[in-house]
Structure 1
Amino acid sequence: MPKWRARTLNSSRMDRSAEFKKWKAQCLSKADLSRKGSVDEDVIELVQLLNAREQFFTTSSCAGRILLLDGGINGLGVQKQNCCWLLVTHIPCVKDDMMVALKKANGDAVFKFEPFVLHVQCRQLQDAQMLHSVAIDSGFRNSGITVGKRGKIMLAVRSTHGLEVPLSHKGKLMVTEEYIEFLLNIANQKMEENKKRIERFYNCLQLALERETITYSHTKIKEKNNPFCTHKKKRNPEKLRGKCIPEENDKEPENDDDSDPGINVAIFPKDY
């Protein structure tokens, strides 16, 4: 490669790195505008781990929650910004709390469980790919990568084990208390599984970052000892993934197509 072209590529990388640092500083300095106003307790360590690395920063997160919303229903589901939040909890919910909240409903009350979700901006595509592999191995098989027009690389960590059920219409309860108790048992089980996946994701991420650091250190030592070496060895994807073997009972619903893991990676042009 001509020297002038190498200098141009190095300059371009430096510009992108500087812009990423600027985006990270701006994002982490902003006030938390979520309803809670702070990071959920179950994901604090995970968020801190990611933000401590120079190649990542988190833009939003939710550890998972059980909701009761009162509002209208359309073809796309409940619009949270146009409804009343009757109940929100990040821990298992009991029947008495749900029944008290339901008495306040005047419209169409909807019971929901929303699993863990995390959005991370990554410095390079290979960083996002490594994080995506960790997410998939940890059970978050609906995760995906998007690349914006300005070059922003975003990873969304998501799973498919949510739950959404209408309970009332125009203030009238449409189901029995026995059915509500049944739904709560399902949601609470999903909450426990959700927590296990978060812990698995954190442990797998630690392992992947440690292996990445070791690989980077070995490469630098090799280059230092051999000044004539100009070609870097390609990274081994399996080593970077921090491969975690899912538990036998860690399965997604039947509509997940695990036979082709490639469908889980989505790279779409999108501007953030």
Structure 2
Amino acid sequence: MAAFGPRKAQRLARADGSRKGGLDERAAPVVRLLNGQSRFCTTSSCSGRLVLVQGRAADADSFEIQKKGCIWLLVTHEPCSRSEVMTALEKATGDVVLKFEPFVLHVLCQELQDAQLLAVRSTHCLEVPLSHRGKLMVSEEYIEFLIHVANQKMEENIRRIDRFFKCLELALKNSVSANNSLEKPEKHCPVYLHRRKRKTIQQQGVHPPPRGPPSEELEPEDDVENSLDIFAEIMI
């Protein structure tokens, strides 16, 4: 797509519209790695966070949090304590939910095969209602338990980001190597050299000497198959 380059440049030139106004430190290496490739463009990211979100008071039969007009009572990208959560809950006047949201990354890709390289999904999240119409509906002991679970998820999330970066870096290098090999088959695949030599001999009217036993020379099809096996191993 010829238009992908200008679209990427235009996208990256925009001002950061996130609440924070800049990249999360832990997400930055992955974002920079992808944007350094001509075929990718990141549009938004979050390294993972724990939030207390207050929505408008719901009906008695529903505990749905309204996203529009919601208030963030607490947001942190680090493990937090019970005291931080309880202090934030004191300001609650509506329905409050405690959430842990893992690392998320949205990326524009030039080709379908580029998107397939990045296809990763996770269910590493947590969402629990805590209060209704400003009234706390669970015990402080339960809140402490939830925070412990959320902090464990945060620590695992940090490890996953590091693992994802290393795997992505390796996959991109292997992808470039595979493309380079496929673009220059005559220099790297013996079957083409063999065919060209045989064609030259036939044109000159020279009969080649008898071949040795079959085990002394691979058939062209065998060479191609072995070459393709190399690329099968790099897919993730």
TM interval, short-chain normalised: 0.7 to 0.9
Aligned positions of 1:101-116 closer than 5 A: 101-116=88-103
**CA distance in 2 between partners of 1:239 and 1:131 (Å):** 14
Aligned positions of 1:38-187 closer than 5 A: 38-72=22-56, 73=58, 77-132=64-119, 135=120, 143=121, 159-187=122-150
- Deviations along 1:5-50, whole A, 9 cap, x unmatched? xxxxxxxxxxx2x211121111111111010011111110000000
User: Residue type matched to 1:207 in 2?
Assistant: L
User: Residue type matched to 2:13 in 1?
Assistant: S
**CA distance in 2 between partners of 1:29 and 1:130 (Å):** 25
In the TM superposition, residue 237 of structure 1 has moved relative to its aligned partner by 4.5
- Corresponding residue to 2:165 among 198, 202, 205: 202
**1:26 and 2:10 are equivalent in the alignment:** yes
The structure with more radius of gyration:
2
Contact map agreement 2:49 2:77 (CA 8 A) in 1: yes
**CA distance in 2 between partners of 1:98 and 1:105 (Å):** 11
In the TM superposition, residue 224 of structure 1 has moved relative to its aligned partner by 6.2
**CA distance in 1 between partners of 2:186 and 2:16 (Å):** 43
**CA distance in 1 between partners of 2:18 and 2:69 (Å):** 16
In structure 1, stretches of 5+ residues that fail to align are 1-15, 136-142, 144-158, 242-272
- Deviations along 1:130-176, whole A, 9 cap, x unmatched? 222xx3xxxxxxx3xxxxxxxxxxxxxxx112111111111111111
Q: C-alpha root-mean-square deviation of aligned residues, in Å?
A: 2.4
Q: TM-score scaled to structure 2, two decimals?
A: 0.77
Contact map agreement 2:55 2:95 (CA 8 A) in 1: yes
**CA distance in 1 between partners of 2:114 and 2:176 (Å):** 12
In the TM superposition, residue 238 of structure 1 has moved relative to its aligned partner by 3.6
**CA distance in 2 between partners of 1:46 and 1:34 (Å):** 18
**1:216 and 2:179 are equivalent in the alignment:** yes
In structure 2, stretches of 5+ residues that fail to align are 197-223
Identity value in percent: 53
In the TM superposition, residue 240 of structure 1 has moved relative to its aligned partner by 3.3
**CA distance in 2 between partners of 1:166 and 1:115 (Å):** 18
**CA distance in 2 between partners of 1:38 and 1:222 (Å):** 45
Q: TM-score scaled to structure 1, two decimals?
A: 0.67
In the TM superposition, residue 77 of structure 1 has moved relative to its aligned partner by 4.0
In the TM superposition, residue 112 of structure 1 has moved relative to its aligned partner by 0.8
In structure 2, relative to structure 1, the CA distance for the partners of 1:190 and 1:77 (3 Å cut) is: farther
**CA distance in 2 between partners of 1:222 and 1:89 (Å):** 52
**CA distance in 2 between partners of 1:31 and 1:78 (Å):** 29
In structure 2, relative to structure 1, the CA distance for the partners of 1:211 and 1:43 (3 Å cut) is: same
Aligned positions of 1:222-233 closer than 5 A: 222-223=185-186
Contact map agreement 2:98 2:130 (CA 8 A) in 1: yes
**CA distance in 2 between partners of 1:20 and 1:68 (Å):** 38
**CA distance in 2 between partners of 1:182 and 1:237 (Å):** 45
